[in-house]
Structure 1
Amino acid sequence: MKPVRVLLPINAKGTTSACADAAFGLARRFEAELEVLHPCPPPSQRLPYATELSPIYFEAYLDVSRKQVDVEEKEATAWFEKTSAKWADVESQLLTVEGLVGPAVAQRSKTADFSVLPTVAAADDEMFDEARDAALFSSGRPVLFVPDEAGGNIGDTIVIAWKDAVESARAVACAGPFLEGASLVRLVSLIEEGEEEDETALAMANYLAAACLPVELQSVRLGDRDVGDAILEEAGSGVLLVMGGYGRWRWQEWVFGGATDYVLRNTDVAVLMSH
């Protein structure tokens, strides 16, 4: 099914140029609606120590917070109007939601075909950290992570980082609209030391070929490389990378390192990820 809605979460200053170009450009390509979401915490949720304040100071802080909300909403509106004017042929709308970032993004991303967010390296701050987590873990939908280096024609060549896992299969399914327009699809199967070639990689390649997609299967020995580093190295430049996200418990990736976190911090190509 062709995408009908793309979600672009922003803060008061908007989002990165690469992220905005990707979201508007893909909405144009797929003839989809673009929903620009500005989650704005209300005044009452900006006072972490409110219970320790006297009523007089509480009201004063609340008044300051109200003014800050107004400022942020005006800034977000100005950014949207300026950016959308460059993409006049794209159906887009700004939705400002007064609420916490995580719940707001989780709710709206459930009714979008995919969300578009900057990679960790492109925007490493609290707002986008919460938005990335909510879109990836709480929506059931894929997320397109866009680095500053991403080119405008996302998806002409697609690289699928394949492994025999539910997350990989789900990512391929979510990439359907991108795959249909690709000139080349490379399915890369990384083989760790002591492992045999992954039979499911060949099965997936045959499945994609049966759908008349220009697919090439590449089985690559991992060697002494970390998985995340190997994925990016084998993907190369100027591609859309499709992969599953956080195939093991996230705390394990935090403690021991993992491919997902490494890719989100180091990629210079756009990554379509599904958990």
Structure 2
Amino acid sequence: MTIRRRTVLGAALAGATGGVWGFGGAAEAGRRRTVFVAGDSTAATYATADVPRAGWGQALGVFLRPGTAVQNAALSGASSKSFADLGRLDLILAAIRPGDTLLVSFGHNDEKIEDPARGTDPWTTFQDYLRRYLDGARARRARPVLVTPVERRRFTADGAPYLSHGEYPDAMRALARETRTPLVDLTALSFDLWTTLGTEATKDHFLWLDPGESPNYPTGIADNTHFQAHGAIEVARLVAAHARTLPGRDLRAIHDPDIPDTVLVWPPKRPAES
């Protein structure tokens, strides 16, 4: 177990860095600008029962100055279609205000075309649903940003990384160009990071734990999609560093290579599912 893992697993944690699904915080914050996150399990905020699992939306506030709020509405299992069809987009649009930002990141579950509730086609329905987010934000004078899906941990037997999202990132890139929407190419950025780290070092970013390492995963886990705290922080760093229209970016934090896992906290329940 690394020192970084020991610090996060041994912490007594409460609260929710990165915002919650109930949007009261945004109203109470008055006129300060808020970053809303619409996404899936890779971005979601997790609970104490999930430690050390974390999503990049849960860690995003680490790289923003205190005057900027984060409302992380990312939902495990969601696609661009199911998130909207469940009314989650409507909740964001009811709360978002002029000058706020909406980060939109889907793709993992849109790829599940066998599931009619979630699957989309990259060049038709995926783009059509994403337009709802962009148009809804702009109608409220908020700023949408498209974020391509973070890449999974995928290596061949020879240790060569490979891409896993098919045409969905390309479809989002094309939509960003067409609609003149800022884009964070998180697929490419994360793929480059995983390539640099290689097969073993990436395990400290993804949810890889040995048996007995965490009381929440007593038999261990080898998850190549979701992150532990360190990975969530580093992916959030990529988003904050490259989302140049993001309000309140803390450049000092973005360039600090020693952000500890202990900056993250976990609420008692998953806020998006409460």
Q: TM-score, normalised by structure 1?
A: 0.31
Name the larger-Rg structure.
1
Larger relative strand fraction: 1
Greater RCO, 1 or 2 (C-alpha within 8 Å, sep 6+): 2
Q: TM-score, normalised by structure 2?
A: 0.31
